[in-house]
C-alpha cells in the first residue's frame, strides 16, 4: 500500500497532540515528512516545545520539527491559554524535550518539499492558524499546484463560532491567511466545528483510551481531562469536542465523514464577523466551490480509530 506523504502544520494544543499521536500510530498508511509549529493556541516558543514533547512521547525523536510564523500576517496575536493552559499542553507532567527543531524554517521546508516531491503527492494537514501555509504560498505561488490536498481543521457554519459568535479560533487568529489559502485553488477538505462538535470526549470513549494501559495513552487521557474542562463548562456536554484528530482520521478512514463541495469565503473586514467562514452550503451564491466541507461524522468510529492508533505507539 502506498504510504501517503504528509506535512503536519500545528499549534499544540492537547487536541493537536492527539492528532499527531494518531498520525505516528499509523506508519503503514502515513509518511510524516515533517511537522511545522505555528503560533496559535500558545506562542511559537511553546508550540515548538510542545510539538517536540509529543514527538518524543510517541517515540519519534527522529521526526523533523520546523518552526514557522511567530504571529499572524497582519493582526495582533491571539492565543487560547484559557483553553489549553499556560504551556498549551497543561494536564500532564512531562520532561522538557531534548530533540531540537530543524535549523530550516517551516516556510522554506514547506516550499522545498513541495518543489522536490512529485507533483500531487504531498498532503498538507493543518491543525492551527494558516499563517505558515499562506506565507509559503505568497513566497512561492508555484507550490499551490503541487499540493495533493489540504485537509484542515477550521471554520464553522451551522455551528457558528467558538472564539466569537461568528468565527472559529484557527480562522479568527489569521483570517488574512485563511483568505489566501481558500483562494489558492488547492483542493481543500474542511473539518469545521459542525463536525468536531460531534466528537465529544465522553467518559465511555476516554475510558477505552485509558484501558490501553500504555504511557502515551495515559498522557493523552490526562491531556483530555484538562482540555475538556473548559468546553464542558461552556457547552454543558459530556466531554469536550476533540477537534484536530478529525484531520488525520479523514486520511485514514474518509468514510467516517460526509459533506459536500461548497464555496467558502472568509470575512476579513467586519469587526463583528471577522474570521467567519461563509459556507455556501445551499449553493445560492453562484460562486465556484473551493472546498469539500464536512458536516457529519461517525463519532464512535472516530474514537475507535483514535484508540486503535494510539494503542500502537
Ligand atoms: O477551534 C479549535 C481549533 O483551535 C483547534 O485546532 C484547537 O487546537 C485550536 O487550535
Ligand atoms: Ca490546533
Alpha carbons 266 and 168: distance in angstroms, whole number: 11
- pLDDT per residue, tens digit, the chain (313 aa), is 789 999 999 999 999 999 999 999 999 999 999 999 999 999 999 999 999 999 999 999 999 999 999 999 999 999 988 888 899 999 999 999 999 999 999 999 999 999 999 999 999 999 999 999 999 999 999 999 999 999 999 999 999 999 999 999 999 999 999 999 999 999 999 999 999 999 999 999 999 999 999 999 999 999 999 988 888 888 888 899 999 999 999 999 999 999 999 999 999 999 999 999 999 999 999 999 999 999 999 999 999 999 999 999 9
| Nearest Cα to Cα of residue 17 among 49, 43, 45, 44 | 49
Ligand 2 centroid, distance to 139 Cα (angstroms): 24
Fold of 4-310: Inosine-uridine Nucleoside N-ribohydrolase; Chain A (3.90.245)
Q: Is 72 in the pocket of ligand 1 (CB under 6 A)?
A: no
Pocket test of ligand 1: the residue of 17, 88, 128 to mutate, having most ligand atoms within 8 Å of its CB, is 128
Q: Is 127 in the pocket of ligand 1 (CB under 6 A)?
A: yes
Ligand 1 centroid, distance to 286 Cα (angstroms): 30
Q: What is the DSSP string of 222-280?
A: HHHHHHHHHHHHHH--SS-B--THHHHHHHH-GGGEEEEEE-EEE--S-TTTTT-EEE-
Distances (CA, A) of 95 to 50, 56, 297: 11, 10, 35
pTM: 0.97
> Which are the contacts of 250, defined by CB distance < 8 A and separation ≥ 6?
151, 189, 191, 256, 257, 294
Distances (CA, A) of 134 to 5, 114, 178, 312: 20, 14, 7, 34
Amino acid at each position: 500500500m502506498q504510504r501517503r506523504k504528509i506535512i503536519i502544520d500545528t499549534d499544540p494544543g492537547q487536541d493537536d497532540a492527539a492528532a499527531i499521536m494518531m498520525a505516528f500510530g499509523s506508519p503503514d498508511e502515513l509518511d510524516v515528512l515533517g511537522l511545522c509549529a505555528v503560533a496559535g493556541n500558545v506562542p511559537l516558543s511553546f508550540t515548538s516545545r510542545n510539538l517536540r514533547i509529543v514527538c518524543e512521547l510517541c517515540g519519534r525523536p527522529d521526526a523533523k520539527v520546523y518552526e514557522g510564523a511567530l504571529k499572524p500576517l497582519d493582526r495582533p496575536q491571539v492565543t487560547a491559554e484559557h483553553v489549553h493552559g499556560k504551556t498549551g499542553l497543561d494536564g500532564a507532567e512531562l520532561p522538557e524535550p531534548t530533540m531540537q527543531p530543524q535549523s530550516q524554517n517551516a516556510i522554506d521546508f514547506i516550499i522545498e518539499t513541495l518543489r522536490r516531491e512529485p507533483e500531487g503527492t504531498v498532503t498538507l494537514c493543518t491543525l492551527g492558524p494558516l499563517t505558515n501555509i499562506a506565507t509559503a504560498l505568497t513566497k512561492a505561488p508555484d507550490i499551490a499546484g503541487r499540493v495533493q490536498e489540504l485537509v484542515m481543521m477550521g471554520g464553522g457554519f451551522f455551528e457558528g463560532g467558538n472564539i466569537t459568535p461568528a468565527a472559529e479560533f484557527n480562522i479568527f487568529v489569521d483570517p488574512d491567511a485563511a483568505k489566501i489559502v481558500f483562494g489558492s485553488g488547492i483542493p481543500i477538505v474542511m473539518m469545521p466545528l459542525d463536525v468536531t462538535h460531534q466528537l465529544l470526549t465522553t467518559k465511555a470513549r476516554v475510558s477505552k483510551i485509558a484501558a490501553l494501559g500504555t504511557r502515551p495513552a495515559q498522557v493523552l487521557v490526562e491531556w483530555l481531562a484538562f482540555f475538556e474542562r473548559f468546553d464542558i463548562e461552556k457547552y454543558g456536554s459530556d466531554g469536550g469536542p476533540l477537534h484536530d484528530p478529525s484531520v488525520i482520521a479523514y486520511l485514514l478512514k474518509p468514510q467516517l465523514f460526509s459533506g459536500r463541495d461548497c464555496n467558502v469565503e472568509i470575512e476579513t473586514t467586519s469587526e463583528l464577523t471577522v474570521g467567519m467562514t461563509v459556507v455556501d452550503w445551499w449553493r445560492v451564491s453562484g460562486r465556484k466551490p473551493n472546498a469539500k466541507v464536512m458536516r457529519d461524522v461517525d463519532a464512535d468510529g472516530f474514537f475507535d480509530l483514535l484508540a486503535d492508533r494510539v494503542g500502537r505507539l
